[in-house]
Structure formats: C-alpha cells, structure tokens
A and B are shown apart, each in its own frame.
Chain A
Amino acid sequence: SYELAQPLSVSVALGQTAIITCGGNNIGSKSVNWYQQKPGQAPVLVIYTDSSRPSGIPERFSGSNSGNTATLTIYRAQAGDEADYYCQVWDSNFYVFGTGTKVTVL
C-alpha cells in the first residue's frame, strides 16, 4: 500500500517560514492536497492539486510537488497557523493521508 511520510513536528518562529514535507514514492506524478486541522475542529482544505488555494485561504500558504516529495510552505507564520497538517493523494482506488505534522509557532 502507498505510504506518505511527514515529519512529526515542525517549529517556526512567529513571522518566519514553515516548511512541511510529504514523502512518497514518485509522489510528483500524483496530485497532492493539504489539510489544516486545529484541536477539536474538522480539517480544512488549504491546498489542492499540488499548489492551488481554495477561496479564503491566505496567499501565505503555498504548495509544490516534485520527485518523491511534496511540500507545504507557510510564509510569515502566525499564531493562528498552529495546527496539524496532513497531505493526501489518490493511489490505486484508495485515498491516502500522510502521517500528519504538528506545527508549533514560537
């Protein structure tokens, strides 16, 4: 089965840039989506098809995908960006989520 590996945690200073990776075999050939989940809340889509932002998502959120790694970048991190982030793809008739990354804003 297809697996997506994410770092368990990422820390970023307020106003700086956070980079969250999502590793998978030849993930660059797939379409990657990213979700933000705050404690006690449902997930929210922040990036779809590698790099597109849904309406209402700040331009500070950016996505890219190539080779074996997809990346979610959060520019000018704010306290409100503290959350768990999950990548997600489709593989062989299944949707697969990454292991999740907890982002802490210092």
Chain B
Amino acid sequence: EVQLLESGGGLVQPGGSLGLSCAASGFTFNNYAMSWVRQAPGKGLEWVSAISHNGGTTYYADSVKGRFTISRDNSKNTLYLQMNSLRVEDMAVYYCAKHGARTVTTIGAFYIWGQGTMVTVSS
C-alpha cells in the first residue's frame, strides 16, 4: 500500500525554525517528484514547494521562498521541509504529496497525500 507519513509538526514561536519529514512507503520513492502543500485552519489548499525525483530541481511559492528549503533522501525514502523565520501566517496543516512523474511537470497532479502534520506558530 502506498503511504506517506508526515512528522515534525508542533508549536514554535514566530521567528523560530522547524523541520518536517515525510516517510514514504509502498512505491519506488526515487521515481517520483514530491511536493508540500499546506492548509491554514478553515482555509483552502496552498502549494508550498516541490522537488524532482533526484532533488536536482526545486520550486517554491513566493510566500516561503528564502525561508523554507525542500530536500529529499532517497536512500531513506524521506522528504523534508526545513522551515526558518516562521510567521504566524505559516500556521497550517502541512501535507506531503506524491506526483505522478519524476519531474515537476506542467500537468503535475498530486496523486497520493499524507495525513498531514500541524504547525502552530504562536508566542
């Protein structure tokens, strides 16, 4: 069974840092691009960042560029999101999602989602 399991969420003060992980299983992780998508409480979905199958290409939403870093360790079947200089507006459930191809493509869809991990930014 294809599965994504996020971890690392929690409470952090504004300006602080937090690292999220997404453990993948049930598929050949290094064959697929991956993304992080977030959802603030009561709000819609917002794409955060994407990475190609080998980590060679990354993309970021303007709202997180320069503060967040996406990476992956294919030997550990794990996707990461390092979040620095966190703001109140970063508070959300963060989902990792599996693409349908190796690259981040114009027809890219998010085929499988994890259950999400909550990040709370508050003093």
Contact = CB atoms under 8 A, between A and B. Distances in A.
B50 interface: yes
Interface string B28-72: 000000010100000011110010000000010110000000000
B84 interface: no
Interface residues of B, number: 23
A99 B110 CA distance: 17
Interface stretch (A17-25, A73-81, A88-96): A88-96
Contacts of A62: none
Interface of B: 35, 37, 44-47, 50, 59, 61-62, 95, 100, 105-111, 113-116
Interface residues of A, number: 26
B111 A43 contact: no
B45 A43 contact: yes
A20 B49 CA distance: 27
A6 to B, nearest CB: 9
Contacts of B100: 48
A82 B50 CA distance: 29
Contacts of A33: 109-110
B115 A42 contact: yes
A84 B39 CA distance: 13
A97 B106 contact: no
Nearest to A42: B113
A93 B106 CA distance: 8
11 contacts: A37-B45, A43-B45, A45-B110, A48-B107, A49-B107, A86-B45, A88-B109, A96-B47, A97-B44, A97-B45, A97-B47
A44 B113 contact: yes
